[in-house]
Amino acid sequence: MNRRPDVTATPLPAQSLLHERAAPADFLDCYSVASDLPPRPAAEIITAFPGWVQFLMRLRGVLTAPFGLVNDGPKTRDSIGIFPVETETAEEIIAGFNDRHLNFRVSVQSREGRVFLATWVHPHNLGGRLYLRAIMPFHILISRNALARVATQTAAT
């Protein structure tokens, strides 16, 4: 029987470096799934977007281009997908960048047999808050799908 991985909304682990950024008006969510993968391999699976997510990212680029929003992260020596790596430890990798309308970071943590995927967003203005509200249903689908792929990859190895 092929069971769907149990991806659950969960509090951000207390050890996460994202806590240093979070302010009361910021957005912060976290999901987790059973997996023993280290952060970088899990993050590589998470950012290997399936075709439907790639399509949504291209659509996002077309729709936001008139507003001057960045479609790809800045070029850096170390990145996970399009996200520049900011911090990496044995238990957590944080990647993301600042844009005109908001700052965001994604954290992938491995601890106690689970992989956690957290997203922190600090909107700068009304445009950032509207953008965050518009993408939220897609963000949830993409996050849950990404962790399901991590669990599936873990089970396959």
Which among 95, 46, 103 is positioned nearest to 70, based on CA atoms? Answer: 103
Cα gap 108→51, rounded to integer Å: 22
Q: Please, is 125 exposed, middle or buried when counting C-beta atoms within 10 Å of its C-beta (0-12, 13-18, 19+)? A: exposed
Tally Cβ neighbours within 10 Å of residue 98.
Answer: 13
Please report, for the domain that includes residue 113, its CATH number.
Answer: 3.30.530
Q: What integer is the mean pLDDT of 4-15?
A: 92
Q: Is 2 contained in some domain?
A: no
Q: 97 or 4, which is more confident?
A: 97
84-132 per-position pLDDT tens digit: 999 999 999 999 998 888 899 999 999 999 999 999 999 999 988 998 9
Residue 3 is assigned to a structural domain of this protein: no
End-to-end CA distance of the chain: 18
Q: Evaluate whether residue 1 is within a structural domain.
A: no
Which range of residues forms the domain containing residue 125? 8-156
Q: Do residues 94 and 107 lie in contact, with contact meaning Cβ atoms separated by under 8 Å?
A: yes
Q: Domain total for the chain?
A: 1
Mean local confidence (pLDDT), 36-49: 94
Average pLDDT score over residue span 14-41: 94
What's the whole-number mean pLDDT along residues 49-75?
76
Q: Residue 48 corresponds to which tokens in the numbers above?
A: 């290997």
- Say what the pTM is: 0.88
Q: Using the predicted structure, report yes or no on whether residue 1 has a pLDDT greater than 50.
A: no
Q: Look at residue 76 and tell me if it is in a domain.
A: yes
Question: pLDDT at position 104, please?
Answer: 93
